[in-house]
A and B are shown apart, each in its own frame.
Chain A
């Protein structure tokens, strides 16, 4: 008997005369037999027995899994799109920041007036109290 045949039979839990004869003349296979027997004992010693869940619990798990798969597919779609949405938003902000004309294309009426300075002539006609004042004449009574 070849060692390979012995090992194959050993893994298949065979036990026959040929195998026993082979172990007597082959120390390597004898060692292998001891190792297999030892590991089987360890596995049996370590074995844990549990009670399987009831069928009703399995059906409940099926229902949960069905609901979860729906929610998951929705959130997965959003998760796939989210980076693109963020990238587009960031790109828009960057482009907008480097083109001020987009934000304020023309100065406003009030900005033009401020740039032109105080039109005191017009103001004095409309309101005599707004006659030219000396610097520091806060109340406008300096010239009276």
Chain B
């Protein structure tokens, strides 16, 4: 089940917009300055693209989604309130857009973007968290992607924002509408679930590898 869309309003006490580096540009855009919007785009295009690509995991649709997100942002500037810094607001719009996309695409089977052949019997492993049995023999990009895809959209969103976009806990809270403590707990549980899925797939591989 996909997570509901994130709330677009609400005061988030952990973040103050006073020292928002984007605020001057945002105000210019609100007065109709297209050049300011382009500057905002160049400032945030890489981060938003990275977030969308790693959350949605359909590389072929990422450019379209990013265009649509920025178009939506441009058309919604009138409703933007500087109570919230611009970047969390932008990422919140992006998150909701990605969730909508996944909701519409839910009926279709998920595909894993991979540069390698998808062979379930191939030997692979990720570094074991306990460090007891194995060290990294082969860190398979596509299988790491599979682990990420198996998580719920909410868990995946938290991990992508934290580990790939390297946003602060406060910003993640502002984007997802969660309190700081809930973000920490959510991240911890997402990691635990990812580890459980890894161990499950590892057991599955061992079971397949055993002679009948």
B-binding residues in A (CB < 8 A): 7-8, 11-12, 31-32, 34-53, 55, 57-58, 60-62, 64-66, 69
Contacts and interface: CB of A to CB of B under 8 A. Distances in A.
A48 B149 CA distance: 13
Interface of B: 38, 41-42, 45-46, 48-50, 52-54, 57, 59, 62-64, 66-68, 70-72, 74-75, 113, 126-131, 136, 139-141, 144-145, 147-148, 159-160, 162-164, 168-169, 184, 187-188, 190-192, 194-195, 198
SS of A interface (majority): helix
A43 B71 contact: no
B131 A46 contact: no
SS of B interface (majority): helix
Given A34-B129, A35-B191, A39-B159, A46 B71 contact: no
A2 to B, nearest CB: 14
Contacts of B131: 34
B160 A43 contact: yes
A48 B137 CA distance: 21
Contact of A42 (B62, B67, B147): B147
A58 B129 contact: no
B49 A50 contact: yes
A66 B75 contact: yes
A43 B194 CA distance: 10
A67 B197 CA distance: 45
